[in-house]
């Protein structure tokens, strides 16, 4: 019931956001950059609050911290190549192996941590949300598979190279572009196509090159956590 209530609240807030984009609506002139910042901030805080209530084990927390740190560090040196994001691969392989909450947590924390080096701002919640959703989506895709399906995973991370850019384009559109209309929306998405393609192609290379290796390493660690949990 609590889950349905949360979805209802989030859905209602999303409807308000969409209605505010209609010209002539009283909400049309709202500061949507600020509204979206508060909205996504609340969503992320709600996730971590719920995650804490589930009392994750010390080993699970250590795993999330380690993978988030690795993902964050991997992002920093590649900033010189706009669009190339190895962090996406690391977040999504973690989600594929360990699950939805771990994937989302690693993505959100890695985005926050890496921005201490690259710059925090109102775009941070959007990046936390985008990478977190990527990790959660990978977990859902890998939930019912008994073995690592490299081509399925590669397709997913390649697609997310574009999808992450589409999410961030919304922030760019409502935060920096005026007026908010169909023409400026299309222009914002067209301008990011090259960078999104670099992101997607980089994800494809990382997945094909390192996917199987990382999967086997994380699977071994997952077995250790599972065995430790049932030993007592």
Higher pLDDT, 8 or 217: 217
The backbone region for 24, taken as left when phi is positive above 0, alpha when psi lies in -120 to 50, beta otherwise, is: left
Structure confidence by residue, pLDDT tens digits, 100-121: 999 999 999 999 999 999 888 8
Among 3-12, 85-94, 193-202, the minimum mean pLDDT is found in: 3-12
Buried b / exposed e along 109-135 (16+ C-beta atoms within 10 A): bbbbbbbeeeeeeebbbbbbbbbbbbb
Q: Is the pLDDT of residue 176 over 90?
A: no
**Dist. CA 215–CA 135, nearest whole Å:** 14
DSSP 81: S
Phi/psi of residue 39, nearest 5 degrees: -65, -50
Q: Nearest to residue 89, comparing CAs of 167, 163, 156, 166?
A: 156
Average pLDDT of the segment spanning 84-94: 95
Question: Residue 1: its pLDDT value, please?
Answer: 40
Structure confidence at residue 218 (pLDDT): 92
Could you give the CA distance from residue 43 to residue 103 in angstroms, rounded to a whole number? 16
- Report d(CA 39, CA 144) in Å as an integer: 32
Between residues 57 and 92, the one the model is more confident about: 92
pLDDT given at position 205: 96
- CATH architecture of the domain 48-230 equals Orthogonal Bundle (1.10)
d(CA 144, CA 185): 37
2-6, 28-32, 34-38, 86-90: lowest mean pLDDT where?
2-6
User: pTM of the entire structure?
Assistant: 0.82
Q: How far apart are CA 21 and CA 204, in angstroms?
A: 35
Q: How many CB atoms lie within 10 A of CB 94?
A: 29
pLDDT surpasses 80 at 167: yes
The burial class, CB within 10 Å (0-12 / 13-18 / 19+), for 92 is buried
Residue 59 has phi, psi (to 5 degrees) of -65, -35
Average pLDDT over residues 64-69: 92
Q: What is the pLDDT of residue 30?
A: 62
- φ, ψ for residue 34, nearest 5 deg: -70, -45
pLDDT band at 70 (very low <50, low <70, confident <90, very high): very high
The whole-number average pLDDT for the span 149-160 is 95
């Amino acid at each position: 019931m609590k889950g349905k209530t949360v979805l209802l609240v989030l859905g209602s807030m999303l409807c308000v956001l969409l209605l505010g984009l209609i010209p002539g609506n009283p909400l049309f002139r709202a500061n949507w950059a600020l509204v979206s910042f508060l909205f996504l901030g609340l969503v992320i805080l709600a996730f971590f609050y719920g995650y804490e209530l589930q009392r994750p084990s010390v080993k699970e927390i250590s795993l999330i911290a380690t993978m988030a740190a690795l993902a964050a560090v991997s992002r920093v040196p590649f900033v010189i190549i706009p669009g190339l994001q190895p962090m996406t691969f690391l977040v999504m392989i973690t989600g594929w192996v360990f699950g939805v909450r771990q994937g989302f947590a690693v993505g959100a924390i890695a985005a926050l941590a890496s921005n201490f080096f690259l710059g925090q701002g109102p775009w941070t919640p959007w990046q936390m949300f985008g990478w977190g959703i990527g990790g959660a989506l990978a977990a859902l895709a890998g939930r019912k598979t008994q073995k690592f399906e490299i081509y399925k995973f590669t397709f997913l991370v390649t697609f997310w190279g574009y999808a992450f850019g589409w999410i961030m384009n919304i922030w760019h559109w409502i935060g920096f572009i005026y007026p908010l209309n169909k023409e400026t929306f299309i222009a914002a998405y067209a301008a990011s196509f090259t960078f999104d393609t670099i992101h997607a192609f980089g994800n494809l290379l990382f997945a094909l090159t390192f996917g199987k290796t990382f999967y086997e390493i994380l699977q071994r660690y997952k077995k250790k956590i599972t065995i430790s949990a049932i030993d007592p």
